[in-house]
Structure 1
Amino acid sequence: MAKWGEGDPRWIVEERADATNVNNWHWTERDATNWSSDKLRSLLLGLTVASDEGSCEVTEVSKLEGEASINNRKGKLIFFYEWNLKAAWTGTSKTGMEYKGTFDVPNLSDENDMEDLDISVSLHKDEPETPLKNLMRTKGAERIRKALDSYVESLKTEFTQGMILPTTNGEAPPCSSLQSKAEPNKTQISSPSGTAAPVRTGIRIPTCKFSMRETFQASPTELYRVFLRQEMIQAFTNAPATVEAEKGGKFRLLDGNIIGEFTELLPDQKLVMKWRYNNWPCEHYATVTMTFLDRSSETELKVECRGVPDSEEERTQDGWKRYYFAAIKQTFGYGARLF
């Protein structure tokens, strides 16, 4: 047994503010899959290229299959990501003709260099040949690679905040040995079937909860569908939106400034969702519960928000009042009394 003061400092428990993982010695893992899915969609949707022949725009990301994670061991970050994605694009020729097609990226992973990335561009079966297909194969593929490279860069910088904890002197060690590939024995480190998985750690932030009430001159059915129908959401936000109106379905509003997922849908009565601004700490979502109360000729909407970062309380309340309540009333006339 080592004498007092002569033990290996890596195993000494010290009094620290975060009370965990002294000197970053232990293995920690953070799941980046949901964050990556949202990030990839935001980078690809709306991407455009143009030439003398016309222009093309990415209009939908129809498939995103894969996973991503970051591991910290001995102060080193190890990145793992593997994605198979498919997206739709729409081309408009200089004469106004529209063409539709898709592109596939089957091998976006830490094992492949970006310049070696396969990007397969095609037209829909019923579409005639057009120079716009070649535009997507050249300039389009180049823009897509840049967007995917931006994702990888964000994964290694934006998402890693808080992964390297302060050392015993209060300073974070330099990230001089970032690795873009998981260690070969990653599967050996993972827990075997039937045992507890490695703990995924994150940053604890102070949060708050608050509730708001607003009355709309509409029935619960009319108001409920406003929050689920994509065309209605695009109308009152005056911006592109993607909405999957089902349990587990994701949404992306206001050009990606708001993202989330529906966790409970009780038609005309209640909506529960994971909801966040895209600049909140990585993977941090508030829980928003919307209750639709029938008040005869009008509907009272009760909105309860839990888990909102303390520093974002005022901004979040103002955002709901301005971009949801006021915008819905102005767009659909739900603020005027019916006589």
Structure 2
Amino acid sequence: MAVWGSGDPRWIVEQRADGTNVNNWHWTERDVSGWSSERLRQLLLAVKVDGPEGTAAITDVNKLDGEASINNRKGKLFFFYEWTLRANWLGTSCNGVKFRGTVDVANLSDENDMDDLDISVSLCKDQPNTPLLDLMKKRGVPEVRRVLGQYVHQLKSEFSQGMILPTTDQPKPHQPPPVQKNQKSSAPRCSSSPAPSPTGIRISTCSFKLEETFQTSPDELYRTFISQEFVQVFTRSAAEVDGRRGGRFQMLDGSVCGEFTNLVPDRRIEMRWRFRTWPSEHYATISLQLEDRGDDTQLIMDCRGVPVGEEDATREGWRRFYFHAIKQTFGY
């Protein structure tokens, strides 16, 4: 046995808070198949192209087979992903005639460059020929290639964080200087004092506002947020929603839960809302104001009490999993 302090440093357990994989010598692996599957669906469902022929958009992903993982060995990251995809697209000609087709990707993997992806577009067998097929081939295929490249980039950036751990002799990352009170910032405003939570833990919180326009009436949009059936459709997952004052809700595989605190039909929705990674029993206060503008509805969201450090993820989550999902699903 080596004398303490004189052995191979790659095997010495340093005094660290985590005490794992010192100097990144051992093989570690992170399975990101679940995140990849969900992210690929989100990116593909956002594909939409327009042209003189009309419009075409991917409406659903009916085949998504494969896996993805990130591996760390000796401080180097290795990315493995292999997917076979099939999506359905819907085209609408200038005179309103609709056509359906499919998009197939057979070789999305770490072994192929993005330019080498085999992406094929076709019409369903019962569909007559249409210029919209050429639109999907000329403009839809590059857009599909772009979003798949976006997935690979996010896989290698967002989900590689934390795979390589710092060692004791590495300097601590530079911390940006605190923002002075008299400086103006576009970031959400933070509360001047920490907010108490029901568990007695005091945490700092912040607030932000969002505005979004929906091409529908206030009553339809109101029903979309409080109806269990509608919520399950636009979140594409099981949900429990009791759409009345004091009624509770849970959605997105339990990631989000809360309670409706006040409901003014077709005009206003107020709720206590939390994400499951937040401090225990801490809720944000959210109000959704619906304003009828004739041809559309303006939604004004006021969100207060979000834990500091969670504001960007919360804002982006509402845009992606609520607003954009509702528009994509219902055509609002």
Class of the TM-score when normalised by the shorter of the 2 chains:
0.5 to 0.7
* Cα distance change on mapping 1:52 and 1:91 into 2, 3 Å: same
Aligned to 1:63: 63
CA contact (8 A) 1:229 1:243 kept: no
* Cα distance change on mapping 1:62 and 1:209 into 2, 3 Å: farther
Aligned to 1:167: 167
Are residues 1:317 and 2:259 paired?
no
C-alpha separation between the residues in 2 aligned to 1:209 and 1:288?
A: 16
Letter in 2 for 1:243: T
User: Aligned with 1:166: secondary structure?
Assistant: coil
User: Aligned with 1:9: secondary structure?
Assistant: coil
Letter in 2 for 1:127: Q
Aligned to 2:156: 156
Aligned-pair distance for 1:18? 2.9
Q: Which runs of 4+ in 1 moved over 6 A?
A: 208-211, 266-270, 289-292, 301-304
Aligned-pair distance for 1:102? 1.4
CA contact (8 A) 2:100 2:123 kept: yes
C-alpha separation between the residues in 2 aligned to 1:113 and 1:166?
A: 31
Unaligned runs of 5+ in 2: 174-195, 200-222, 262-269, 291-296, 298-332
TM-score by length of 2: 0.60
Aligned-pair distance for 1:149? 0.8
1:307 to 247, 272, 276: 276
Letter in 1 for 2:94: K
C-alpha separation between the residues in 1 aligned to 2:140 and 2:235?
A: 25
**Percent identical across equivalent pairs?**
49
C-alpha separation between the residues in 1 aligned to 2:32 and 2:45?
A: 20
Aligned-pair distance for 1:141? 0.9
CA contact (8 A) 1:22 1:168 kept: no
Aligned-pair distance for 1:227? 4.3
Aligned-pair distance for 1:156? 0.4
CA contact (8 A) 1:104 1:120 kept: yes
User: Aligned with 1:11: secondary structure?
Assistant: coil
Aligned-pair distance for 1:113? 2.1
Letter in 1 for 2:234: T
* Cα distance change on mapping 1:209 and 1:119 into 2, 3 Å: farther
Aligned-pair distance for 1:287? 5.6
Aligned-pair distance for 1:144? 0.6
Aligned-pair distance for 1:136? 1.0
Aligned to 1:194: none
CA contact (8 A) 1:62 1:86 kept: yes
Letter in 1 for 2:170: G
Letter in 2 for 1:68: A
* Cα distance change on mapping 1:32 and 1:125 into 2, 3 Å: same
Aligned-pair distance for 1:45? 1.3
Aligned to 1:243: 235
Letter in 1 for 2:287: R
C-alpha separation between the residues in 2 aligned to 1:136 and 1:158?
A: 30
Q: How does 1:273-284 map to 2 (within 5 A)?
A: 273-274=251-252
Aligned to 1:22: 22
CA contact (8 A) 1:273 1:289 kept: no
CA contact (8 A) 1:290 1:304 kept: yes
User: Aligned with 1:144: secondary structure?
Assistant: helix
User: Aligned with 1:7: secondary structure?
Assistant: coil
TM-score by length of 1: 0.59
CA contact (8 A) 1:271 1:290 kept: yes
Aligned-pair distance for 1:273? 3.9
Q: How does 1:283-298 map to 2 (within 5 A)?
A: 286=255, 288=257
Aligned to 1:142: 142
C-alpha separation between the residues in 2 aligned to 1:139 and 1:19?
A: 51
Aligned to 1:126: 126
Aligned to 1:220: none
CA contact (8 A) 2:226 2:241 kept: no
Letter in 2 for 1:88: N
User: Aligned with 1:8: secondary structure?
Assistant: coil
Aligned to 1:89: 89
CA contact (8 A) 2:227 2:241 kept: no
Aligned-pair distance for 1:138? 2.3
Letter in 1 for 2:120: S
